[in-house]
Amino acid sequence: MVVEVMDMILWTLYFSFLGAVLVLLLPGRAAKWAALSVAVATLAAAFAGASEYMSVSAQAPWVTLAKSPWIPSLGISWHLAADGISITLVLLTALASVAGVLFSWNVAHRPKEFFALYLTLIGGVYGVFFSVDLFLFMVFYEIAIIPKYFLIAVWGSTRREYGAMKLALYSFIGSALSLAGILAAYAVAGGHTFDLLELASYPFPPQFQYWAFPLVFVGFAILAGMWPFHTWAPTGHVAAPTAASMLLAGVVMKLGAYGCLRVAMPLFPIGLEEWSLFFAGLGVVGIIYGALVALAQTDFKFVIGYSSVSHMGFVILGLMTLNAVGLQGAVMQMFSHGVIAGLLFAVVGRMVYDRTHTRELSELGPMQLYRSMPFVTVVFVLAGLASMGLPGFSGFVAELMIVVGAWRGIPWMAVMAGLGILLAAAYTLRVMQLAFFGYGDNSSENSHSDMSKIDAISWPEKTGAVLLLAASLCVGLRPSLLLDLIAPAMNTPLVQVILKGAGS
């Protein structure tokens, strides 16, 4: 059903790609302003789209945005649609992209190319969230990955070629697995359509689903940082420039989780039921394992990188609960982690590293950053509290919902997830004290006086930090802001097939 009123949301996609071209045409000095205007415009479009969706979601939780044939001979069409889940992630992407531009304000090396690639990446991400045609989905998926490689390889830091290559290889292996599974499904279903809605309603034989589901699921889950396919994430985050690591943690990892939820799970509900316990277990292992590894890191950014692995474990667990509470919790967690991890990476990469030129905790400690950077300290403390799931921030509601959802299916996994929340407090408090407060009052007078020469925190940084913190707080205090978007999506056929498959 085509609802005419939903026409704002697609502008996010168009603006991004047009913006990428525009940035290339403008002189280099204007690049960041152009990118910021584009990002703000997409944010406005996303908000407008979300409010439009709210007004129609009760009657039509699934809104078709565009549908026309593209390559009819293969059954490929330009089919875009949105529901509450995709709109939530579009909102997240829009927020993260505005913040990312703000935190890249100091990019001086080839800014035109930087922002053009950046906007292309964003556009690819929007495309994935809207695609219903699986071929189109994979096209946008690859569009999102390729700029990533260049952003890291050209503008990155520590072992950037290694990190970029590792990330690109993992991503391509993942998408190759998914594509193989999708092509198999296409062939089994008769080979005349790539349309997700049609494929999802095709009764694939159980024997086929048993092997096709893990293929497609793992393919996407690699990008979501699922243990044990997570190792690209921390190295990639560390190597990436600030904006790229923000997008990587904030948005690109969500692409993987979205692929799991949107493609793998509804296509193969029988396979899903068979494998859900196994993948829930991997999610739980990821939660605990990521937190433990974060506890042992000596590099500030690696701590945040591994905390992402831990938090994305919650998303996997939430998806595998196969009930409405757990699924909504998983989507909430995607949003929450996107905002919080983005902020944490911004603090580490832009605010701290660009000024101190070190990320070693043992070197940061004696600098006593709380004296020279009070604003950054407060932001990091708040972001850290949000990351450890303190009530009032978005992470609490999300993790609580996932634990409730998990308890209904597999109680001991809920307990293990709770243990993960406990460990999150441990590594966050540890890194907070080591990085910002250090010890010893007088031993460090020299480094202290060095630190007084650092640049002040600029307005784009402040704006970006406040934007992300406010997003996390708003959702934490009023979860209905997002849940009212997500809840209608539970009635769409693609989600219903997951919930029904689990017999609930």
Partner 1 sequence: MISKTWETLLVVKLLWIIPAIPMLAAGVLALTPRGYRRMAASLAIGSMVLAFLFSCLAFYATMIPLPYSEAWRQSYNVPWFDIGHETVRVGWVLDPLSALMLAMVTFVGTCIFVFSTGYMAEDENFTRFFGFLTLFAGAMLGLIISNSLLLLFICWELVGLASYLLIGFWFHKPSAAAAAKKAFMTTRIGDLGLLIGMVWLYSETGTLLFYDGGFGCLETKALIGLVTPAISGGTLAVTGIALLIFCGAIGKSGQFPLHVWLPDAMEGPTPVSALIHAATMVAAGVFLVGRMLPLMGADMILFSGSSPTLYIVAMVGSFTALFAALIAVAQTDIKRILAYSTVSQLGYMMMAIGVGGYPAAIFHLLTHAFFKALLFLGSGSVIHGCHHEQDIRRMGGIAGSMKITFATYAVGMMALSGVPFFFSGFWSKEAILHAALTWTPSMLPFIFGLCGAFLTAFYMTRMMGYVFFGNYRGDSCHAPHESPATMTVPLVILAVFAVLLGFAGTSFWPWCQSYLTAQRVRFGWEEFLHAWPLTGGSIAMVAAGIGLGWKLYISRPVGGADAPDILETMHPKIYNCLKNKFFVDEFYAATWVRWCGAFASVSDWMERFVWGGMMRGAAFFTACLALLNSETDERVVNGSFDGGCKVLKASSGKLSLFQNGKAQRYLCVIGAAFALLLLALEMGVKL
Burial 191-203 (b: 16+ CB within 10 A, else e): eebbbbbbbbeee
Q: In whole angstroms, how close is the CB of 55 to partner 1 at the nearest point?
A: 17
- Token pair of 30, please? 């204007």
Burial readout 65-98 (b: 16 or more C-beta within 10 A, e: otherwise): beeeeeeeeebbbebbbbbbbbbbbbbbbbbbbb
Alpha helix (H) ranges present in 296-373?
300-320, 324-345, 354-356, 361-364, 369-372
For partner 1, the binding residues in 153-192 under the rule CB under 8 A are 166
By CB under 8 A, residue 142 contacts partner 1: no
**Interface with partner 1 (CB under 8 A), residue from 35, 396, 467, 492:** 396
Nearest to 377 by CA among 449, 439, 436, 440: 436
In angstroms, the CA 283 to CA 388 distance is: 18
Among 281, 366, 418, 493, contact with partner 1 (rule: CB under 8 A): 418
Looking at beta carbons only, is 270 or 404 nearer to partner 1? Answer: 404
Binds partner 1 by CB under 8 A, chosen from 146, 437, 458, 463 = 437
The two structure tokens encoding residue 382 = 């708040």
Residue with smaller CB distance to partner 1, 380 or 407: 407
* 101/248 with CB nearer partner 1: 248
For the bound state, the minimum distance from the C-beta of residue 415 to partner 1, rounded and expressed in Å, comes to 6
Where residue 503 falls (left for φ over 0; alpha for ψ -120 to 50; beta otherwise) is left
* Omega cis (within 30) before 206: no
Q: Which stretch binds partner 1 (CB under 8 A): 27-35, 101-109, 174-182, 390-398?
A: 390-398
Q: Residue 412's CB: how many other CB atoms inside 10 A?
A: 10
Measured from the CB atom, the residue of 420 and 501 that comes closer to partner 1 is 420
Min dist CB 79 to partner 1, Å, is 28
Interhelix angle 84-103/459-477, rounded to 10 degrees, is 160
Q: Rounded to whole angstroms, what are the CA distances from 67 to 25, 81, 141, 329, 431?
A: 31, 9, 19, 31, 49
Nearer to partner 1, 59 or 480 (CB): 480
| Contacts to partner 1 from residues 277-316, by CB under 8 A | 289, 292-293, 295-297
Q: Out of 335, 348, 407, 469, which residue is the one contacting partner 1 (CB under 8 A)?
A: 407
Return the number of the residue (258 or 427) whose C-beta is nearest partner 1.
Answer: 427
Residue 299 bridge partners (DSSP): 360
Listed ranges 149-157, 205-213, 269-277, 403-411: which one lies at the site for partner 1 (CB under 8 A): 403-411
One of 56, 419, 473, 474 touching partner 1 (CB under 8 A): 419
Nearer to partner 1, 206 or 411 (CB): 411
Task: Give the shortest CB-277-to-partner 1 separation in angstroms.
Answer: 19
Q: How far is the CB of 414 from partner 1 (least distance, A)?
A: 6
> What is the three-class DSSP state of 64?
strand
Closest approach of Cβ 274 to partner 1, in Å? 25
Residues numbered 317-336 forming contacts with partner 1, rule: CB under 8 A? 324-325, 328
- Among 84-92, 121-129, 256-264, 424-432, which window interacts with partner 1 (CB under 8 A)? 424-432
Q: In what helix (H) or strand (E) does residue 82 lie, and over which residues does it extend?
A: strand 76-82
Of 299 and 363, CB closest to partner 1? 299
Rg of the chain's alpha carbons, rounded to an integer?
22
H or E stretch including 464?
Answer: helix 459-477
Contact between 33 and partner 1 (CB under 8 A)? no
| Residue of 448, 296, 299, 295 lying closest to 366 (CA atoms) | 448
Q: Does 480 bind partner 1 (CB under 8 A)?
A: yes
Establish if 422 lies at the interface with partner 1 (CB under 8 A). Answer: yes
Q: Indicate which single residue of 48, 54, 390, 474 sits in contact with partner 1 (rule: CB under 8 A).
A: 390
Positive or negative: CA dihedral 43, 102, 85, 326: negative
Least Cβ distance, residue 426 to partner 1 (angstroms) = 6
What are the angstrom distances between the C-alpha of 372 and each of 60, 351, 448?
53, 12, 8
CB nearer to partner 1: give 72 or 411: 411
6 binds partner 1 (CB under 8 A): no
User: Which residue, chain included where needed, has tokens 């070629």?
Assistant: 161
Alpha-carbon gap, residue 270 to 213, rounded angstroms: 9
Q: With respect to partner 1, which residue has the nearer C-beta, 111 or 409? A: 409
**Which residues sit at the interface with partner 1, rule CB under 8 A?**
166, 228, 230-231, 289, 292-293, 295-297, 324-325, 328, 385, 390-392, 396-397, 400-401, 403-404, 407-408, 411, 414-415, 418-419, 421-422, 425-426, 429-430, 433, 437, 439-441, 478-480, 483-484, 487, 490
